[in-house]
Amino acid sequence: MTPETPVANHFIRTLIREDRAAGRHGGRVATRFPPEPNGYLHLGHAKSICLNFGMALENAGTCNLRFDDTNPAKEDLEYVEAIKADVHWLGFKWHALLHASDYFEVFYLCGEKLIRKGLAYVCDLSADEVREYRGTLTSPGRNSPFRERSVEENLDLFRRMRAGEFADGTHTLRAKIDMASPNMNLRDPALYRIRNIEHQNTGDAWCIYPMYDYAHCISDAVEGITHSLCTLEFEDHRPLYDWCLDQLELTEDPSLTAPLRAKGLDMPVSRPRQTEFARGNLDYTVMSKRKLISLVQDGLVDGWDDPRMPTLSGVRRRGFPAAAIRAFWERMGISKQVATIEFSVLEACVREQLDASAPRRLAVLDPLKLTLTNLPEGHEEHLDFANHPKDESFGTRVVPFSRDLWIEREDFMEVPAKGFHRLVPGGEVRLRGVGIIRCEDTVKDADGHLTGLLCTLDPTTRAGLPGADRKIKGTIHWVSAQHALFAQVRLYDRLFNVANPDDDSDGKTYRDHLNPESKRVVHAWLEASLATAQGGEHFQFERLGFFVADSVDHCAGHAVFNRTVTLRDSYAKGK
């Protein structure tokens, strides 16, 4: 477990510390992360995960992973497994793994209790009629003609709803609150609806399913949650959250939670408080599950874990370390102010992490042959290279060096541009870790295309000799051609080419803004030591960026690397 060191106070951190200090909830802190298993987790979810798990860790509390699986139509076990793997990968351990469907019997008993208290009724209005009775933001709603049913009649109908006597849509259980409330959520909201459909956890045991607002507050209470942290869109729902819990008095009424104890689920019951914070948004991406699902289903990306996706499985495969994501959200803080953060800020956190943790290697992505003509044919050396320039604990490795090398094509210019300090005809440059070379001639094919360079190595500039320190402007990297490892390298870039792909005010949708250059595959030559890289291992390819061995396709005999991020922000202003 590696929580980030808190960098700044925020209102939720402060609130929880005050609650603890005041002994509220018996001094306990219990949070939960409640995903709906209808898609993969994304970077926005990571904000909520880091907050919920982080607050628990900081306060010697607990955090549950609760699948909010009250909606039987949309869920899938693939998502459940992916969500568990992602939370783990982010570095968090849940206290208990629970499902809202664990509480179906409790929700039902709560429904009967509200009916007995005269606070809920079975309504026969159709969905359209309910909408029409609800009124608008500027006009009050009208009472349902079924609002004054007797307790006995309501209990009988609710039991028959449960028993499966009615078709979908014919009845709902509604809270009896206030059809004139300025808060639409309080205009007799539905608590239960009929869905004659199987549920992946409870099978065909139920044909009535609770609504989110009703199920969520009860779930929090029966799990002993003290601080229910959620995003701002639930602010207007908080009065309903509180209404349900105040009317149900779960802490005073053990009969409501008896079904859980009978199942061996013995948890403290609490009166939780909901607190809202702003969603995390990033530019140049979309994060609604609906849009992410359509990118996958329509084949616009290569699956949920496509390294261009903002999903946690995508950025993991891209090579973003979990620690960078945690540090990013910790630094961004928590507030009620909605803001979109530049993706490049996250990339800066990724660079910072990888700069410290990734060993250096040599790799050439766009190869040009370079021959050192003053070395004998078959010349071979094994040079010692440090694995990290700032951290000796990374040790050293052996890099083979020979007469024929690959260098980066862009490190040579036949007609040099102003300020170009690398290799030019007749010019000198330092070969990383070797010495200074001079370009004596170029080699071209019949069509005049450059195919190689003929150079000489100044023997007085080799490592250890007095001439090694001779000043020279440029240094270029290389790999030995005869020893090099052939690899596929995937160069990823932003998936969208506009900052806000969600903005459809100009009639275009996010799908019109896909960046056609977001994935480029090249064939590269890597230094020999990379032959033993394992899928998921991070490296810096010197001068090129941070790369990761692809966790799916990389294997011995078929090297595949993904570019995680370039060394510098290539989009930075004034590049």
289 is catalytic: yes
Half-sphere exposure of 464 (CA within 13 A, CB side): 2
Shortest distance in whole angstroms from residue 538 CB to ligand ATP: 26
The distance in angstroms from the start CA to the end CA of the chain is 39
Shortest distance in whole angstroms from residue 503 CB to ligand ATP: 17
Residue (290 or 449) nearer to ligand ATP, CB: 290
Rg over CA atoms, the chain: 31
Question: What is the Cα 539 distance to its own chain's centre?
Answer: 21
Q: What span, in angstroms and rounded, lies between the C-alpha atoms of 434 and 491?
A: 28
CA distances from 93 to 56, 89, 228 (A): 11, 10, 18
Catalytic residue among 17, 24, 36, 438: 36
Shortest distance in whole angstroms from residue 329 CB to ligand ATP: 9
Shortest distance in whole angstroms from residue 60 CB to ligand ATP: 23
Minimal CA–CA distance to 276: which of 20, 40, 46, 51? 51
79's tokens: 């998502």
Q: What span, in angstroms and rounded, lies between the C-alpha atoms of 269 and 219?
A: 10
Residue (126 or 288) nearer to ligand ATP, CB: 288
- The type of residue at 437 is I
Residue (288 or 460) nearer to ligand ATP, CB: 288
Residue (312 or 437) nearer to ligand ATP, CB: 312
Shortest distance in whole angstroms from residue 175 CB to ligand ATP: 22
Q: What span, in angstroms and rounded, lies between the C-alpha atoms of 490 and 497?
A: 18
Q: What span, in angstroms and rounded, lies between the C-alpha atoms of 48 and 61?
A: 16
Residue (161 or 229) nearer to ligand ATP, CB: 229
Residue (216 or 538) nearer to ligand ATP, CB: 216
Q: What span, in angstroms and rounded, lies between the C-alpha atoms of 519 and 541?
A: 18
Q: What span, in angstroms and rounded, lies between the C-alpha atoms of 566 and 574?
A: 17
Taken in order 345, 313, 290, 93, is the CA torsion positive or negative? negative
Q: Please, are residues 481 and 369 in contact by the beta-carbon 8 Å criterion? A: yes
Q: Please, are residues 276 and 234 in contact by the beta-carbon 8 Å criterion? A: yes
Residue (270 or 540) nearer to ligand ATP, CB: 270
Residue (45 or 113) nearer to ligand ATP, CB: 45
Residues 6+ apart with CB under 8 A from 126: 169
4 is catalytic: no
Shortest distance in whole angstroms from residue 281 CB to ligand ATP: 6
Coil, helix or strand at residue 472: coil
Q: Please, are residues 394 and 366 in contact by the beta-carbon 8 Å criterion? A: no
CA distances from 426 to 414, 440, 442, 455, 456 (A): 10, 6, 10, 9, 10
Residue (56 or 372) nearer to ligand ATP, CB: 56
198 is catalytic: no
66's tokens: 């609760």
Half-sphere exposure of 414 (CA within 13 A, CB side): 12
Catalytic residue among 17, 279, 331, 432: 279
467's tokens: 């001439």
Residues that bind ligand ATP (CB under 6 A): 34-36, 44-45, 47-48, 230-231, 279-280, 287-290
Shortest distance in whole angstroms from residue 497 CB to ligand ATP: 22
Shortest distance in whole angstroms from residue 308 CB to ligand ATP: 18
Shortest distance in whole angstroms from residue 39 CB to ligand ATP: 6
Minimal CA–CA distance to 320: which of 272, 268, 285? 285
Residue number of the CB closest to ligand ATP reads 44
Catalytic residue among 271, 289, 317, 403: 289
Q: Please, are residues 89 and 322 in contact by the beta-carbon 8 Å criterion? A: yes
Q: Which residues are catalytic?
A: 36, 279, 289
